[in-house]
Amino acid sequence: MSEPPEIPAHGESIGVEIKSLRDQLTVSSGWGIMVDLAGVRRSRNVLQSNWFELDTLIGPFKFDVQVALDVFANPVDPMRWERFLNGLDAPLHNYVAAVKSLVDHQRIVSETYLAGENRDRYQDEVKRRFINSPGSQFVQQLRDYLLHVRLPVTAGSFSFARGTDGPEHGSVAHSITLDVPSMMKWKKWNLRSREYFKRSGDNLDLHEALAIYYADADDFHNWFDRHIRECNLDAINEAQDLIDAHNALVERLTGELVVLKSDPSIDQGVGPF
User: Does any domain span residue 92?
Assistant: yes
How far apart CA 80 and CA 117 sit, in angstroms, is: 55
pLDDT (tens digit, 0 to 9) for every residue of the chain, 273 residues total? 444 344 444 556 888 888 898 999 999 999 999 999 999 999 999 999 999 999 999 999 999 988 888 988 888 888 998 999 999 999 999 999 999 999 999 999 999 999 999 999 999 999 999 999 999 999 999 999 999 999 998 988 776 555 455 445 456 788 999 999 999 999 999 999 999 999 999 999 999 999 999 999 999 999 999 999 999 999 999 999 999 998 888 888 776 555 555 556 444 444 444
Amino acid identity for residue 102 in this structure = L
Q: How far is CA 22 from CA 122, 241, 266, in A?
A: 32, 12, 17
Q: Check residue 12 and give its pLDDT.
A: 66
Spatial neighbors of 35 by CB under 8 A, at least 6 apart, are 264, 270, 271
Give the bridge partners for 161, in sequence order.
171
Q: How far is CA 99 from CA 130, 188, 214, in A?
A: 12, 18, 9
Q: Check residue 11 and give its pLDDT.
A: 54
Q: How far is CA 158 from CA 64, 69, 206, in A?
A: 12, 10, 14
User: Does any domain span residue 26?
Assistant: no
User: Does any domain span residue 273?
Assistant: no
User: Does any domain span residue 27?
Assistant: no
Contact 273/35 with Cβ under 8 angstroms? Answer: no
CB atoms within 10 A of CB 88: 18
How far apart CA 135 and CA 252 sit, in angstroms, is: 55
User: Does any domain span residue 244?
Assistant: no
User: Does any domain span residue 64?
Assistant: yes
User: Does any domain span residue 256?
Assistant: no
Strands across the sheet containing 203-205: 154-163, 166-179, 203-205
Q: Check residue 158 and give its pLDDT.
A: 72
Cα four-point dihedral sign 77, 82, 86, 91:
positive
Q: Check residue 2 and give its pLDDT.
A: 42
Q: Check residue 73 and give its pLDDT.
A: 83
| Domains in the chain, number | 1
- The domain containing residue 207 runs over which residues? 50-162+170-231
**Global pTM?**
0.84
User: Does any domain span residue 28?
Assistant: no
Contact 165/263 with Cβ under 8 angstroms? Answer: no
How far apart CA 58 and CA 37 sit, in angstroms, is: 31
Please provide the distance, in angstroms rounded to a whole number, between the alpha carbons at the two ends of the chain.
28
